[in-house]
Amino acid sequence: MQHVCAWCCIMSKIRVALTGVGNCASALVQGVNYYEHAQKEGQALGLRHLLLGGYHPRDIEFVCGFDVDARKVGKDLSKAIFSPPINTVKFADVPKLGVEVLRGPTLDGIGALTKKVVKESNQTEVNVAKELERSKAEILINLLPGGAVKATEWYAGQALEAGCAFVNASPVFVASNHSWIKRYEKAGVPVAGDDLADQVGSTAVHKTLLKLLSENGVHIDETYQLDVGGGTESLDTLDRTRELKRTVKTKSIESVLPYKASVVAGSTDYVDFLKNRRDSFFWIKGCYFGKMPVLLDLRLSTVDAPNAGSVLLDVIRAVKLALNRKIGGSLTSVSAYAFKHPPKMLTLETAEQQFGEFVAGKREC
């Protein structure tokens, strides 16, 4: 399927499959519809790029979806993205997509705490690789909870079997794991990840603050950043991945300082009535001219799921460019630009630059 866009470029559709039809999937699908009619940057408030590599958000077509919750399995994707336990905001109407959410395998996708809010479907599991092939999906986006290690790796394998690119938004190490990178290189299929960085995320804000202060001569002695949220991902983090996320976030934040400091970053608790809101708290202690003390204490409040939308739209279109160019293996520039635990950690400026070079075709991966 092709269409002629307002910029007079003929671009093919980007065929996307989703595993984990939760809050982030809801925001992503809504976002594609929300920006569908934007013709210029001024009409695309909230996007980093309206056009990226010639692709518009409306060029993204959702062709397949997998989940385990009985309230989503069997429904059209347009309905499933508003079904419990999804609790993010609705900001766009989504017409019927003609894409049924299929029953994927549970494996370790439901934790001890999330089983209290997830109603597991009793439908028969589908053959995921065959469904990816049937739907002609080009990119599989993993939006499973962070504690679903076996399930994430299983879907990464199914993507390989189907010859499908894999985008890992979870903190499970796939795109940054050498053995997985080699498997994707051998298959000639691109992989990007791990652990998606939010558009207005606490990690990015923390890194930017520390970099600004450090470059202005402030010496950082101690700093922490803690999150409290109400979505199912926050509940799963409390149950299974708090230490993993703390390690990933802390290492990412430490990378912006040219010296050692006491750094702690991670999720701290789940509060159900926050729903899909996330509150992040920042505390930075240091000294400046004349060894005078400085203390910064801030709070950031966001709706969690839409925070992933703009970044995912960029990643999807960049991965499509890799597919067009027949690039297999790890997309290092895409991963460094959009994820907290990429195969190669880069500074914010370098990651931005290399991502731009990749999109422009001046950089191989």
- Residues with Cβ within 8 Å of 334's Cβ and at least 6 positions away in sequence, in order, are 192, 315, 318, 319, 322, 355, 358, 365
pLDDT at 9 over 80: no
- Residues with Cβ within 8 Å of 134's Cβ and at least 6 positions away in sequence, in order, are none
Task: Tally the residues of the chain.
Answer: 365
Domains of the chain in start order, with CATH, are: 2-197+307-359 (3.40.50.720), 202-303 (3.30.360.10)
Task: Find out whether 315 and 342 touch, Cβ atoms under 8 Å.
Answer: no
pLDDT of residue 4: 34
Of 53, 16, 35, 338, the closest CA to residue 198 belongs to 338
**Between 349 and 153, the higher pLDDT residue:** 153
pLDDT at 184 over 70: yes
% of residues, the chain, pLDDT over 90: 85
Return the residue matching tokens 């210029």: 40
Helix (H, G, I), strand (E, B) or coil at 101: strand
Task: Find out whether 68 and 55 touch, Cβ atoms under 8 Å.
Answer: no
pLDDT of residue 2: 33
Is residue 249 packed enough to be buried (19+ CB in 10 Å), middle (13-18) or exposed (0-12)? buried
CA-angle at 43, arms to 39 and 47, nearest 5°: 100
How remote is the C-alpha of 225 from its chain's centroid? 20
User: Using CA atoms, how far apart are residues 167 and 335, in angstroms rounded to an integer?
Assistant: 9
At 232, the pLDDT band (50, 70, 90 cuts) reads confident
pLDDT in tens, 123-170: 999 999 999 999 999 999 999 999 999 999 999 999 999 999 999 999
CA-angle at 46, arms to 43 and 47, nearest 5°: 80
pLDDT of residue 241: 86
pTM: 0.91
User: Using CA atoms, how far apart are residues 348 and 210, in angstroms rounded to an integer?
Assistant: 12
pLDDT of residue 206: 95
pLDDT of residue 201: 84
**Between 109 and 240, the higher pLDDT residue:** 109
How remote is the C-alpha of 305 from its chain's centroid? 10
Task: Find out whether 142 and 191 touch, Cβ atoms under 8 Å.
Answer: no
At 10, the pLDDT band (50, 70, 90 cuts) reads low
At 63, the pLDDT band (50, 70, 90 cuts) reads very high
pLDDT of residue 3: 35
The DSSP call for residue 81 is T
Tokens linked to 136: 């002609």
CA-angle at 178, arms to 173 and 182, nearest 5°: 120
pLDDT of residue 68: 98
User: Using CA atoms, how far apart are residues 233 and 210, in angstroms rounded to an integer?
Assistant: 27
pLDDT of residue 148: 95
Task: Find out whether 194 and 176 touch, Cβ atoms under 8 Å.
Answer: yes
